[in-house]
A and B are shown apart, each in its own frame.
Chain A
Amino acid sequence: MATGGISRRRLLNGVTAVGAGTLLAAALPSRRAAAADLVVGFIYVGPHDDFGYNQAHAQGAVAVKKMSGVKVLEEENVPEDVAVAKTMESMIQQDGATLLFPTSFGYFDPYILRAAPKFEKVRFEHAGGLWTPKDPKNIGSYFGYIFEAQHVNGIVAGHTSKSGKLGFVAAKPIPQVLQNINAFTLGARLINPQATTQVIFTGDWSMPVKEAEATNSLIDRGVDVVTMHVDSPKVVVQTAAKRGASICGYHCSQAALAPEAYLTGAEWNWTDLYPKLVTMWMKGEAIPNFYRGAFKEGLIRQSPYGPKVSDEARKRADEVKAALTAGAYVIFKGPLKDNTGKVAVEAGQELIQSNATDTNLEAMNFLVEGVLGSLPA
């Protein structure tokens, strides 16, 4: 019993010593972080290496890491609930971050909108949020009209497809997704007016099993080029490649997953934007609260063409891309019919990006003629 007592006491002493050591260890890095560097925090809703939405942002973070005088913090798999509120606060209060990139759409309302007034010296840069002038001024909203790159995808797909049947695995029937489905289909029908796009909605942003099932069922129906709008295209790409179909990628390049079957892809170009925004913030320049763009502004880019893409397809795709970059090409230009035969865009009307208040693109609610599928009533 006596020896037991001593060993317990020794154990306690040991624990205290370890405790003191850990406190010291914990104190050291934070002191180092406080030394003048700009601390920038990136928050992702999924894994940072998902071959998709989050990886595109993480690539932007990598570009920021290369800048001098900047310390980058990253946190992945942060859900759109109290967790993101606490992660933002923790980055600000415990790590001294003054510029945050909470990258998931759902972080905006209410979490960023509530955090911004509390931390007026911190800049919140958010991807996709619809900032309005009544919202806090220390929030910036940026996004790319990536459907332009999906349109180029469609052109390449139209050239490559033998069956004229294209497939689209989509998460939810929301405007951003519909823009992509429609732009892709319009691109394909420029080349092959009989081409159709069969769309399957999986219901949520990350549903790997349903995405695989959807891809298989598309290919079973004769689809030979597949594209998608889900958070991580990995499963769709691998499934399609295994089945011998071609792929147009999305979010970032998935060429590494299917080097032969990958045609091209619609990519975010955050690697250019993020260092620019960080530099502006460091210099104290005014960052726009609402910033949108596409090829012309360098917010999106096209993956390099894969080996299966014909010279003719490359030529045509490059032409359209050049026209889009020059601002001389409108994708959603009337007259356009939806797939129930109703007029979706009147003759002479153009759905174009313009400014913060003009959101006719952001409210898109139709599937263009040539899309097989329907929207919830």
Chain B
Amino acid sequence: MVEETAAAIPAQRGGIVRRLHTIAARTAAEAVLVPLGALVVSLLLFGLFIAFAGVNPLAAYGYMAKGSVGSWFSVQNTLTRAAPLILTGLCTALPAQVGLMIIGGEGAFVIGGLFAAMAGVALLDASPLVAFLAMAAAGIAAGGTWVAFAGALRHWRGVNETISSLLLNYIAIAILNQLVEGPFRDPHSLNKPSSPSIGYDHMIGTIPGTEIHWGLVIGIVVCVLAYVLIRHTTIGFAARVTGGNLRAARMVGLPIGKLVMLTCFLGGAAAGLAGMIEIAAVQERASADLVTGYGYTGILVAFLARHNPLALIPVAVLLGGIGASGGLLQRHLGLPDAATVVLQGIIFVAILASEAVYGRIPWFKGAEASA
């Protein structure tokens, strides 16, 4: 008896470990395969939609593949479009950790870009590195402060953060227009009111061998840092506890106000940094064109990534690819520009609906794993 038990325990332990591994692997597989399945379903639905519009879905899929990944040009097109979305996605994903629903990425992007442009114009004579750092700092501080307003209103005044962050977008755009058409206007920008240039020499270039600007790399690094913060630090853990159960977080004495302000600031800072990159890598000067809509697409990115900072990267690339392929659909199949918006909408709904699938497919639970 004794011998038997002693022999059995290690064997059983091995089994449990193996089984845990399998469960972990299958949970991971679930996290990847369910959204992928939703994506496939969306593409099929989209095919159905365009078939009704009288267009051959296979041709559409072909052009989408060609436009997004079909050539080196297409890949660069996709990645360039993905770059700002990675960062604006964080503006929704980070505050979501503490249970806040922030949709103020557009405002943070605009205000970040505007302040970065101001810093850039003020430092025309500085070295490129100093100008870059100052512009980045200005963008981060301005964007972060902007969304922190919404966090502060929520925490201290009980104002719904979704509404306040949305309204802050309009205020940011109004400030931008007021400044670039007034005090911050370059008098030479006659028919397109714009700020002075930050100086072509001070623009951040492209990754060597590509036409993709450095914003992509910056975005990926920031996402990895955000992932580490959320998943591997006590602050991140506290934030997730707050998001999971506010009352429990209060009971154990977590500093909820600080967590709200921190995640809002960091989220806004990411979007503000994206605005700075838009100025420093693409637009060169601030104008009404800074209102790109990247902030709103970022909300979609964050939800599709289920607010996981690492998952933002592939999702942003996916949306970048859809954007990159939209042109070919218009030009060759006569589909309206709205077709890509429809596809984005279908994907959004499909991914949200797929939430219901989690935990309901036995295989992912590893039910027969020990067999």
Listed in ascending order, the chain A residues whose CB lies under 8 Å from chain B are 18-19, 21-26, 29-30, 41, 47, 73-83, 85-87, 89-91, 93-95, 105-106, 109-110, 128, 130, 172-176, 203-204, 359, 362-363, 376-377
Closest-CB distance, B65 to chain A (whole angstroms):
6
User: B328 to A105, Cβ gap below 8 A?
Assistant: no
Q: Tell yes or no: B244 within 8 A of A by CB.
A: no
Residues of A contacting B328 in the complex (Cβ-Cβ under 8 angstroms): 90, 94
- 6 more contacts with CB within 8 A, not counting A78-B327, A86-B77, A359-B190, are A23-B62, A75-B327, A94-B67, A105-B191, A106-B192, A204-B288
Q: Tell yes or no: B71 within 8 A of A by CB.
A: yes
User: B181 to A94, Cβ gap below 8 A?
Assistant: no
* Contact residue among B56, B181, B331 (Cβ-Cβ distance under 8 Å from A75): B331
Closest-CB distance, B367 to chain A (whole angstroms):
12
Closest-CB distance, A294 to chain B (whole angstroms):
17
- A93 and B331 alpha carbons, distance in the complex (Å): 14
User: B331 to A73, Cβ gap below 8 A?
Assistant: yes
CB-nearest residue of chain B relative to A4?
B363
- A133 and B288 alpha carbons, distance in the complex (Å): 27
* Contact residue among B58, B177, B323 (Cβ-Cβ distance under 8 Å from A22): B58
- A79 and B327 alpha carbons, distance in the complex (Å): 12
CB-nearest residue of chain A relative to B330?
A75
- A25 and B59 alpha carbons, distance in the complex (Å): 6
Binds A, one of B14-22, B126-134, B142-150, B277-285: B277-285
Q: Can you list 21 A-B pairs with a CB-CB distance of less than 8 A?
A: A23-B65, A26-B62, A26-B70, A29-B332, A47-B337, A78-B327, A79-B289, A79-B293, A81-B292, A82-B80, A82-B282, A86-B77, A90-B67, A90-B328, A94-B74, A106-B192, A130-B190, A174-B190, A174-B192, A174-B193, A359-B190
Residues of B contacting A21 in the complex (Cβ-Cβ under 8 angstroms): 58, 62
Listed in ascending order, the chain B residues whose CB lies under 8 Å from chain A are 56, 58-59, 61-63, 65-67, 70-71, 73-74, 77, 80-81, 177, 181-182, 190-193, 278, 282-284, 287-289, 292-293, 323-324, 327-328, 330-332, 336-337
Taking A21-B58, A29-B332, A174-B193 as contacts, is the C-beta distance between A94 and B73 under 8 angstroms?
A: yes
- A172 and B65 alpha carbons, distance in the complex (Å): 40
* Contact residue among A23, A74, A79 (Cβ-Cβ distance under 8 Å from B331): A74
Taking A25-B56, A26-B70 as contacts, is the C-beta distance between A80 and B63 under 8 angstroms?
A: no
- A89 and B76 alpha carbons, distance in the complex (Å): 11
User: A203 to B177, Cβ gap below 8 A?
Assistant: yes
User: B284 to A110, Cβ gap below 8 A?
Assistant: yes
User: A81 to B182, Cβ gap below 8 A?
Assistant: no
Residues of B contacting A109 in the complex (Cβ-Cβ under 8 angstroms): 192
* Contact residue among A47, A81, A89, A359 (Cβ-Cβ distance under 8 Å from B283): A81
User: B287 to A106, Cβ gap below 8 A?
Assistant: yes
CB-nearest residue of chain A relative to B290?
A81
CB-nearest residue of chain A relative to B182?
A376
Closest-CB distance, B126 to chain A (whole angstroms):
21
Residues of A contacting B58 in the complex (Cβ-Cβ under 8 angstroms): 18, 21-22, 25
Residues of B contacting A105 in the complex (Cβ-Cβ under 8 angstroms): 191-192
CB-nearest residue of chain A relative to B73?
A93
Residues of B contacting A363 in the complex (Cβ-Cβ under 8 angstroms): 190
User: B190 to A25, Cβ gap below 8 A?
Assistant: no
CB-nearest residue of chain B relative to A22?
B62
- A90 and B302 alpha carbons, distance in the complex (Å): 28
Taking A106-B289, A172-B181 as contacts, is the C-beta distance between A94 and B71 under 8 angstroms?
A: yes
Residues of A contacting B191 in the complex (Cβ-Cβ under 8 angstroms): 105, 128, 174-176, 362
Residues of A contacting B73 in the complex (Cβ-Cβ under 8 angstroms): 89-90, 93-94
Residues of A contacting B71 in the complex (Cβ-Cβ under 8 angstroms): 93-94
User: B323 to A83, Cβ gap below 8 A?
Assistant: yes
Closest-CB distance, B320 to chain A (whole angstroms):
10
- A172 and B127 alpha carbons, distance in the complex (Å): 36
Lowest 6 CB-CB distances: which A-B pairs, in order?
A26-B62, A22-B62, A77-B337, A25-B62, A73-B331, A80-B289
- A246 and B102 alpha carbons, distance in the complex (Å): 45
CB-nearest residue of chain B relative to A73?
B331
CB-nearest residue of chain B relative to A128?
B191
Closest-CB distance, A72 to chain B (whole angstroms):
9
User: B282 to A74, Cβ gap below 8 A?
Assistant: no
User: B65 to A22, Cβ gap below 8 A?
Assistant: yes
User: B287 to A82, Cβ gap below 8 A?
Assistant: no
User: A94 to B192, Cβ gap below 8 A?
Assistant: no
Q: Which of B62, B182, B191 has the most CB atoms of chain A within a 10 A radius of its CB?
A: B191
- A85 and B73 alpha carbons, distance in the complex (Å): 12
Residues of A contacting B63 in the complex (Cβ-Cβ under 8 angstroms): 26
User: B80 to A86, Cβ gap below 8 A?
Assistant: yes
User: B289 to A81, Cβ gap below 8 A?
Assistant: yes
